Structure 1
């Protein structure tokens, strides 16, 4: 199966956070926050969305930072993805 986003939607796959902090402290599962960095897996076509012309500014393979509590989480073929609007993406990591 393949996720194909519509409109200004983007499919993201989370980049897992490290298990150990920079100072060497190992974090238990409950202490970890939801990751905010992800890789773009699929990009919608953009176009006319809610009466406004939307040009997609991200592409497949980009690494991005997105808003903490945004999007819809889905599980497909034992993989977890987050579908967000392009406006929920805060920055592209270069």
Structure 2
């Protein structure tokens, strides 16, 4: 299921959902050779654009998302709900628990 929206800013995730945008792989080698688009692999690295407020578990405890807007994260190769934007961009909604790892700049 795809939906065409104007921009990612119009999407407000609910509960423990996290809106991310995949980071594009380099289309040029270090020596300057341009790679065809079909040869550029999708990276499992993404930037967090928006985060839901969390949810309340069965025991009444508030469970907050582990990531925040601006974080770099590793996401699964498959899964999530893809959303097409008007400018041919794509963003993906994941549950917080589906995100594999947070990338720290060191």
TM-score normalised according to structure 2 size: 0.73
Structure number with larger C-alpha Rg: 2
The gaps in structure 2 that reach 5 residues or longer are: 1-6
Asked if the contact 2:24/2:42 (under 8 Å) is kept, the reply is no
Q: Which residue matches 1:41?
A: 49
User: Matches of 1:39 and 1:45 in 2, distance apart?
Assistant: 18
User: Matches of 2:30 and 2:97 in 1, distance apart?
Assistant: 31
Query: Relative to total residues, which structure has the larger strand share, 1 or 2?
Result: 1
TM-score normalised according to structure 1 size: 0.81
User: Matches of 2:13 and 2:78 in 1, distance apart?
Assistant: 19
The gaps in structure 1 that reach 5 residues or longer are: none
Q: Which residue matches 2:3?
A: none
Q: CA shift at 1:55, angstroms?
A: 1.9
**Aligned residues between the structures:** 93
Asked if the contact 2:26/2:40 (under 8 Å) is kept, the reply is no
